[in-house]
């Protein structure tokens, strides 16, 4: 029931890509435009860079402790009880992240596809799917991600490529529109928060064949997913323009709706896009759910995580149903996302600094004694 | 606050509690993982108890406080 060390660098990359690309794809251009108007691509780029810095810090920290996850090495770095306390915050944050992803999925499905289906049912189905899939070991986890990545990437790239024929480059100018810098910073943090799933790398490194290549996996993971996010924002802004996007809840879905394959083969691609989006949401939810139960397992010192997959299900569902409506939900998502950067970027940075200081002191003591 | 989903929460608590008790406890017993067996038994009963607790709380709230 232990985790074998069989994950390759490519598998680690695909896990990162499919984990990052998720529910956030749909409202992404809206978040970017609200923050920067025509500077939306620039705001997105800064958000991606911030997320990349956080991911690199976390990966480097993981490479310094290749046999442990953040739950266990944090106890070595800052002490057992403080490490456990911060780990509880990390786990709780990922449980909230899972519940919000499930709720966002439910909201989109109920609004755009299954209008007669109760919201609770769509949320339960997705959570049940994730909880059953989480009962497997980390190898199956990586196979599932590996299998779905091409199906997630290809249709999104097709939608972006075919939509560009209607693009108006004037909508993208001026690149720096001189908006309120505080709005732009807030937008940058919100977009950076869409990459928080990349925290999963801390759980992947101990199961990798060669943990030394984790940095390479992180680089390609953030490059592909960030590049795709940037392309989506550029295409959406170039087609609808900032003012139109502000009136749309899920601009990426509208982009797929207005895109046609030439020759009248398919006059709108929203249904194909939604089918792919369901896969993307599943892989994101799967990762955050798996990370939560895997971390609880490590915190409690258990050898297996299966019983936890069912145990946390009612709590995740309860948290998912707390937002009163879509507006309330997005308000919470933005707030939790920004606050979560303290956990996903600041906490690893803090651990890395303490770890550097500890190893420096150790070296100094060894030099003194010799 | 709207809590019309309470019935769903109660049902999930019972189903997940039963699933843990019926599948995981036995699997850990067969694998001779004693700590895991104890923890899964405890977690299964926790979920079932939460389900009953929510029913009781809902009954008290609607009967005496609403």
- Residue A259, pLDDT score: 87
More confident site: A167 or B2: A167
Contacts of A314 in chain B (CB under 8 A): 9, 12-13, 16, 47, 50
| Interchain contact B66–A (C-beta under 8 A) | no
- Specify if B13 maps to a domain: yes
A71-102 pLDDT, tens digit per residue, is 999 999 999 999 999 999 999 999 999 999 99
The long-range contacts involving B56-60, CB below 8 angstroms and separated by at least 24 positions, are B58/B6
Tell me A154's DSSP state: H
Q: What whole-number distance in Å separates Cα of residue A86 and Cα of residue A74?
A: 8
CA A35 remoteness from chain centre: 20
- Residue A176, pLDDT score: 81
Q: Is residue B1's pLDDT more than 60?
A: no
Question: Which residue of chain A has the CA closest to B13?
Answer: A314
Q: How far is A97 from chain B (nearest CA, A)?
A: 19
Nearest 5°: the CA angle A208, A144, A322 is 105
Q: Say what the ipTM of the complex is.
A: 0.94
- Specify if B1 maps to a domain: no
Mean pLDDT score of chain B: 92
Q: What whole-number distance in Å separates Cα of residue A90 and Cα of residue A6?
A: 26
Domain count for chain B: 1
Answering whether pTM is above 0.90, one says: yes
- Specify if B43 maps to a domain: yes
Q: What whole-number distance in Å separates Cα of residue A182 and Cα of residue A282?
A: 34
Question: Which residue of chain B has the CA closest to A315?
Answer: B9
Residues facing residue A7 across a β-bridge: A208
Binary contact (A317, B9; C-beta < 8 A): yes
Residues in CB range of A55: below 8 A, 6 or more apart: A195, A198, A201, A218, A221, A222
- Specify if B50 maps to a domain: yes
Nearest 5°: the CA angle A126, A131, A132 is 100
- Residue A369, pLDDT score: 85
Domains defined for chain A, CATH in brackets: 9-354 (1.20.1740.10)
Question: Which residue of chain A has the CA closest to B14?
Answer: A314
- Residue range(s) defining the domain that contains residue B53: 6-65
Cis peptide before B11 (omega within 30 of 0): no
Q: Is residue B2's pLDDT more than 70?
A: no
Is the distance from CB of A69 to CB of A202 less than 8 angstroms?
yes
Tell me B23's DSSP state: I
Q: What whole-number distance in Å separates Cα of residue A12 and Cα of residue A34?
A: 33
- Residue A2, pLDDT score: 55
- Specify if B39 maps to a domain: yes
| Interchain contact B64–A (C-beta under 8 A) | no
Is the distance from CB of A168 to CB of A236 less than 8 angstroms?
no
Q: What is the 3-state secondary structure (H, E, C) of A217-251?
A: HHHHHHHHHHHHHHHHHHHHHHHHCHHHHCCCCCH
Residues in CB range of A366: below 8 A, 6 or more apart: none
| Interchain contact B32–A (C-beta under 8 A) | no
Minimum-distance CB partner of B47 among A1, A300, A311: A311
Query: Residue ranges of chain A with pLDDT lower than 50?
Result: none
- Residue B25, pLDDT score: 94
Contacts of B39 in chain A (CB under 8 A): 300, 302, 307
With bands split at pLDDT 50, 70 and 90, how would you rate the model's confidence at B64?
confident
Q: Over range B40-52, report the average pLDDT.
A: 96
Q: How far is B40 from chain A (nearest CA, A)?
A: 6
């Amino acid at each position: 029931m232990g985790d074998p060390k069989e994950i390759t660098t490519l598998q680690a990359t695909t896990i990162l890509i499919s984990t990052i690309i998720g529910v956030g794809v749909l409202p992404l251009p809206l978040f970017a435009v609200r923050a920067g108007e025509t500077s939306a691509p620039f705001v997105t780029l800064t958000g991606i860079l911030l997320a990349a810095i956080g991911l690199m810090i976390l990966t480097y920290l993981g490479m310094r402790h290749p046999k442990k996850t953040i739950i266990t090495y944090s106890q070595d770095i800052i002490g057992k009880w403080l490490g456990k306390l911060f780990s509880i915050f990390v786990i709780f944050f990922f449980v909230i992240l899972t519940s919000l992803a499930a709720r966002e999925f439910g909201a989109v499905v109920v609004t755009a596809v299954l209008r007669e289906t109760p919201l609770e049912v769509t949320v339960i189905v997705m959570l049940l799917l994730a909880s059953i899939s989480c009962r497997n070991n980390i190898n199956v986890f990586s196979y599932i991600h590996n299998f779905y990545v091409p199906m997630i990437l290809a249709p999104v790239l097709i939608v972006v490529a075919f939509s560009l024929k209607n693009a108006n480059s004037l909508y993208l100018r001026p690149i720096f529109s001189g908006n309120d810098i505080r709005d732009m910073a807030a937008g940058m943090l919100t977009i950076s928060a869409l990459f928080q799933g990349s925290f999963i790398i801390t759980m992947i490194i101990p199961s990798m064949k060669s943990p030394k290549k984790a940095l390479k996996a992180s680089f390609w993971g953030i490059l592909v997913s960030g590049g795709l996010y940037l392309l989506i924002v550029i295409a959406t802004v170039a087609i609808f323009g900032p003012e139109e996007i502000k009136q749309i809840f899920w601009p990426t879905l509208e982009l797929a709706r207005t895109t046609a394959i030439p020759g009248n083969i398919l006059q709108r691609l929203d249904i194909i896009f939604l089918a792919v989006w369901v896969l993307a949401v599943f892989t994101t939810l799967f990762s955050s759910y798996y990370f939560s139960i895997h971390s609880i397992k490590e915190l409690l010192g258990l050898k297996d995580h299966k019983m936890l997959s069912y145990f946390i299900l009612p709590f995740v569902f309860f948290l998912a149903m707390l937002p009163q409506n879509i507006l309330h939900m997005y308000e919470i998502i933005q707030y939790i996302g920004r606050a979560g950067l303290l956990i996903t970027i600041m906490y690893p940075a803090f651990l890395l600094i303490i770890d550097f200081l500890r190893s420096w002191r150790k070296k100094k003591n060894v030099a003194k004694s010799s | 606050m709207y809590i019309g989903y309470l019935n769903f929460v109660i049902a999930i608590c019972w189903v997940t509690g039963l699933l843990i008790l019926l599948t995981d406890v036995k699997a850990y017993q067969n694998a001779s993982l004693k700590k895991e067996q104890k923890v899964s038994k405890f977690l299964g009963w926790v979920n079932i108890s939460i389900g009953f607790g929510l029913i009781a709380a809902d009954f008290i709230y609607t009967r005496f406080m609403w």
